[in-house]
Chain A
Amino acid sequence: MSEAEKAPSRSLVEVTDLTVEFGELRAVDRLSFRLQRGAALALVGESGSGKSTVAAALLGLHRGTGARVAGAIEVAGVDVQEAPEQTLRRLRGGKAAMVFQDPLSSLDPYYAIGDQIAEVYRVHTRASRRAARARAVEVLDRVGIPDAVRRSRSRPHEFSGGMRQRALIAMALACEPDLLIADEPTTALDVTVQAQILDLLHTLREEMGTGLLLVTHDVGVAAESVDEVLVMRHGRSVEHGPVSAVLGSPEQPYTRELLGAVPRVDVPRASSEAPEEPAAVVLEATGLRREFGRGKRALTAVDDVSLTIHRGETLGIVGESGSGKTTLGRMLVGLLEPTAGEVRYDGHARVGVNPAVQMVFQDPVSSLNPRRSVGESIADPLRARGEGDERRVRGRVRELLERVGLEAAHYDRYPHEFSGGQRQRVGIARALAADPRVIVCDEPVSALDVTTQAHVIALLGELQRELGLALVFVAHDLAVVRQVSDRVAVMRRGRIVEEGPADEVYDNPQDPYTKQLLAAVPALDPQIAAQRRAARRELAVV
């Protein structure tokens, strides 16, 4: 290694007093850290903590954007702050390569994957078109794309999410960089795919000695992948140390709070709300089936699903993307008509929307009308029920706002004035407005930071206790589902593969798919993570 000889004691990354300001906002505040060659460091923090800003600063990507960057940044021997554009371009992708978060939007939709990788390769080498193309196939093969020659001609939309992420990693590997910067590389992926990608990153590091800077909000992902952790908050470093120390015995209160908020998949639910006696059935689905499209292109999203939901209990429905869990949720509420089967409420078959069964949606941003005040949004279900007295509507809305932990005075505010967690509270208030007995929550916390997540989950539990609500909690996050559910149903390809009391399903899974899902969940303890990684190799996806 000639580079290693040149600077034997030099670290791969050295950041000193880095400060990044966007106008008035100080996104990163005097942050310092270093990363040795071949080592792995995770920047962990909630949204807005400045972690991605740091990642971009390492490649000098803030140049020309109007951001003010102060402090010293040295990456692979390049002074990023001072280097001329030409040197910086050689660094980017050549010595330090970035793996971005959203693999669909991070690739050019118009070109074949192989051509995009070849383009990057040719920027950094004098390879011919053919040689570059061959290199692209080689790295695609390396990251586990089957039939890489043929698939290198596919465009990004023809790849699945996991394959796209692999392709992005292949692009990063093309020039054999010394440093991989991975910005939330698995956030958009299903848990089993996430495990595969993390395992891939791990193997690549072992084999090629690449340094890794991982940016993530997910403590579990960090525990799986790195040696050192730097916890960030408001642009500052809160705690920095070896992963086992920071996650095992955190010193700072914020780190403890962060870790405490992470839902645990291996720990039973703190308190069960389930009534001791089997309560009456409120909602019952029998033989539900839903197809989309016709003829050859028909897709069965939900296939012969039967469920019962009892008064006051929480049924968790867990599954990966495309498993049909959202379709099922929508049919339970009556937003979608089943192709076959029926939904019975209180023993009577129902068609269409039922005020007693309400829904809380995933994306608290897009599920509220940005042009209407939140009070008006919450008032909609009341007015839809025929409540004409404006004073009573306003009174009830204020009551609901307070009930979900907001202020009555928030009535006239607009969604953009609220944080993600607050918006989801508005969504919950809107669902409560119709005095429902069942609320179907479709990924209610997946867009939220862990600490916010914990608060919203606590609120749902409280409401359930006080109002005797039955909850159907649809989510992809196994840990979250365990922490809220009395019973759990695991969905795969439109069917329920396993159903039972939450603790039984989690502690003693019967179905191989459930086992595979559980094995894929990142563990908070690095040692357990290593054991799991070994176990996954044995379980290897069917």
Chain B
Amino acid sequence: MTGFGGFILRRAVGALVTLFALSVIIYVVFYVTPGNVAQITCGPRCSPAQVQQVAGQLHLDDPLYARYWHFLQGLFVGQDYSTGTSVQHCSAPCLGLSYQSDQQVTELILAKLPVTASLALGAMVLWLVIGVGTGVLSVWRRGRLTERLLTTLTLAGMSTPVFVIGLVLMIVVCGQLELLPFPQYVAFTDDPEQWAWNLLLPWLSLALIESATYARLTRASMLETLAEDHVRTFRAYGVGERGIIWRHALRGAVAPLIAVNANNIGVLFGGAVLTETLFGLPGIGQEMVEAVKVVDLPVVVGMVLVTGFFVVLANAVADVLYAVADRRVVLT
């Protein structure tokens, strides 16, 4: 296969292989963790016989590969779970049942995903606008006070933890100025306007910090491009500073921006734990922390896999975009 279509196909196959490898590693790592899962799941007051029964229900006595096979089956064709008294059908893609609540992990994740996705996508738009804008501005005003000021600010931004900015924003904006209510998640489908107002602060706190990285990246790539020979060519042909900056220098920053952004957004889909906790957003990050606390392995494995899925997906999309942005890339 050659050409662009072939490249996309190869990239997709590569992504699938990565996901498969990820699922094996995650499964093995989590299910060989020490501790009696049956005991924890059953609760401290269970008798040894009850614990044994739970272990049977959870297939904890089966060999690891059989359990993994079981897991894969669930993922692709669905599975029935017996909880002792009733049988629950979990349709594909089934990531298993929570040890704690017997809820289906897939449903649990699907319930949390819109929150996390809202947070991640909105923050991304903001950090790209703020970050790239700041980067361009500091290149435009290079060598002057504005640039030094912006450089200092971005450094401060990069080294400030999200809970500091978030807290300060919340105290000032919601507490003292009372411009906004304290954030409370409202689904987009319920009320788009309230959705946006409530997410504004979480978006801002994430974006302010992340945008520092983008500002620096934009600035660095643009300065690098400005030093290149082809910029000299256009200067020698009378192209003004505005054309040089926007058309030529910024264009050089697009490809690296795509690469870094893909990574960030993928990771963010796995839940911005601190931000979600701080603003009380019921997203994937929060749920994951809860699940880890009580060793609810199916939930943890499911969420890690979903996170991995988004990271892999984002990177595959980025690779394709990168190839579009820079046609010199050799498609392999």
Closest chain A residue to B326, Cβ basis:
A110
Assess whether A92 is in contact with B251, with CB atoms less than 8 Å apart.
no
Residues on B with beta carbons closer than 8 Å to the beta carbon of A91: 238
Assess whether A108 is in contact with B234, with CB atoms less than 8 Å apart.
yes
Cross-chain contact of B237 among A109, A123, A155, A157 (Cβ < 8 A): A123
Assess whether A157 is in contact with B328, with CB atoms less than 8 Å apart.
yes
Residues on A with beta carbons closer than 8 Å to the beta carbon of B228: 105
Q: For the complex formed, measure the closest distance between the CB of B24 and the CB atoms of chain A, giving whole angstroms.
A: 31
Residues on B with beta carbons closer than 8 Å to the beta carbon of A108: 230, 233-234, 248, 251
**Residues of A76-110 contacting chain B, CB below 8 A:** 88-94, 97-98, 100, 102, 105-110
Closest chain A residue to B328, Cβ basis:
A157
- Given the complex of chains A and B, what is the CA–CA distance between A11 and B235 in angstroms? 25
Assess whether A124 is in contact with B238, with CB atoms less than 8 Å apart.
yes
Closest chain B residue to A108, Cβ basis:
B230
**Residues of A321-373 contacting chain B, CB below 8 A:** none
- Given the complex of chains A and B, what is the CA–CA distance between A89 and B237 in angstroms? 7
**Residues of B223-246 contacting chain A, CB below 8 A:** 228-230, 232-240, 243
Q: Which of A's residues lie within 8 Å of B, judged by CB? A: 56, 59, 61, 88-94, 97-98, 100, 102, 105-111, 116, 119-120, 123-124, 155, 157, 168, 171, 296
Residues on A with beta carbons closer than 8 Å to the beta carbon of B252: 110
Cross-chain contact of A97 among B235, B237, B243, B325 (Cβ < 8 A): B237
> Is B327 on the interface with A (CB-CB < 8 A)?
yes
Choose among A111, A168, A296 the residue with the greatest number of B CB atoms under 10 Å from its CB: A111
Q: For the complex formed, measure the closest distance between the CB of B241 and the CB atoms of chain A, giving whole angstroms.
A: 9
Assess whether B328 is in contact with A119, with CB atoms less than 8 Å apart.
no
30 contacts between A and B (CB under 8 A): A61-B235, A61-B236, A88-B238, A89-B240, A93-B236, A93-B237, A94-B238, A97-B237, A98-B237, A100-B229, A105-B229, A106-B230, A106-B232, A107-B230, A107-B233, A108-B248, A109-B328, A110-B252, A110-B325, A119-B247, A120-B234, A120-B238, A120-B239, A123-B238, A123-B240, A123-B243, A155-B327, A157-B328, A168-B233, A171-B233
Residues on A with beta carbons closer than 8 Å to the beta carbon of B233: 98, 100, 106-108, 168, 171
Interface size on B, residues (CB 8 A): 23
Assess whether A90 is in contact with B235, with CB atoms less than 8 Å apart.
no
Residues on A with beta carbons closer than 8 Å to the beta carbon of B254: 110
Q: For the complex formed, measure the closest distance between the CB of A179 and the CB atoms of chain B, giving whole angstroms.
A: 12
Q: For the complex formed, measure the closest distance between the CB of A85 and the CB atoms of chain B, giving whole angstroms.
A: 9
- Given the complex of chains A and B, what is the CA–CA distance between A41 and B20 in angstroms? 68
Tell me whether A59 and B240 are in contact in the complex, defined as CB-CB below 8 angstroms, given that A106-B229, A110-B326, A155-B328 are known contacts: no
Assess whether B235 is in contact with A109, with CB atoms less than 8 Å apart.
no
Q: A119-B243, A171-B237 are known contacts; what are 5 more A-B pairs with Cβ within 8 Å?
A: A88-B238, A92-B237, A102-B229, A119-B234, A119-B239
Residues on A with beta carbons closer than 8 Å to the beta carbon of B237: 92-93, 97-98, 120, 123, 171
Cross-chain contact of A92 among B229, B238, B327 (Cβ < 8 A): B238
Assess whether B239 is in contact with A59, with CB atoms less than 8 Å apart.
no
Closest chain A residue to B233, Cβ basis:
A106
Q: For the complex formed, measure the closest distance between the CB of B258 and the CB atoms of chain A, giving whole angstroms.
A: 13
Q: For the complex formed, measure the closest distance between the CB of A384 and the CB atoms of chain B, giving whole angstroms.
A: 35
Q: For the complex formed, measure the closest distance between the CB of A213 and the CB atoms of chain B, giving whole angstroms.
A: 13
Q: For the complex formed, measure the closest distance between the CB of A125 and the CB atoms of chain B, giving whole angstroms.
A: 11
- Given the complex of chains A and B, what is the CA–CA distance between A116 and B236 in angstroms? 13
Residues on B with beta carbons closer than 8 Å to the beta carbon of A296: 2
Residues on B with beta carbons closer than 8 Å to the beta carbon of A102: 229
Q: For the complex formed, measure the closest distance between the CB of B205 and the CB atoms of chain A, giving whole angstroms.
A: 34
Q: For the complex formed, measure the closest distance between the CB of B133 and the CB atoms of chain A, giving whole angstroms.
A: 21
Residues on B with beta carbons closer than 8 Å to the beta carbon of A90: 238
Residues on A with beta carbons closer than 8 Å to the beta carbon of B243: 119, 123
- Given the complex of chains A and B, what is the CA–CA distance between A123 and B237 in angstroms? 8
Q: For the complex formed, measure the closest distance between the CB of A75 and the CB atoms of chain B, giving whole angstroms.
A: 12
Closest chain B residue to A102, Cβ basis:
B229
Assess whether B239 is in contact with A123, with CB atoms less than 8 Å apart.
yes
Q: For the complex formed, measure the closest distance between the CB of B220 and the CB atoms of chain A, giving whole angstroms.
A: 17
Residues on A with beta carbons closer than 8 Å to the beta carbon of B230: 105-109
Residues on B with beta carbons closer than 8 Å to the beta carbon of A155: 327-328
- Given the complex of chains A and B, what is the CA–CA distance between A152 and B237 in angstroms? 19
- Given the complex of chains A and B, what is the CA–CA distance between A116 and B252 in angstroms? 15
Choose among A106, A108, A155 the residue with the greatest number of B CB atoms under 10 Å from its CB: A108
- Given the complex of chains A and B, what is the CA–CA distance between A178 and B236 in angstroms? 15
- Given the complex of chains A and B, what is the CA–CA distance between A116 and B326 in angstroms? 16
Closest chain B residue to A157, Cβ basis:
B328
Residues on B with beta carbons closer than 8 Å to the beta carbon of A105: 228-230
- Given the complex of chains A and B, what is the CA–CA distance between A111 and B246 in angstroms? 13
Assess whether B236 is in contact with A98, with CB atoms less than 8 Å apart.
yes
Residues on A with beta carbons closer than 8 Å to the beta carbon of B235: 61, 92
Q: Across the A-B interface, give the 6 residue pairs with the lowest CB-CB distance, nearest first.
A: A93-B237, A92-B238, A105-B229, A89-B238, A93-B238, A120-B237
What per-residue 1/0 map shows which CB atoms of B306-322 lie under 8 Å from chain A?
00000000000000000
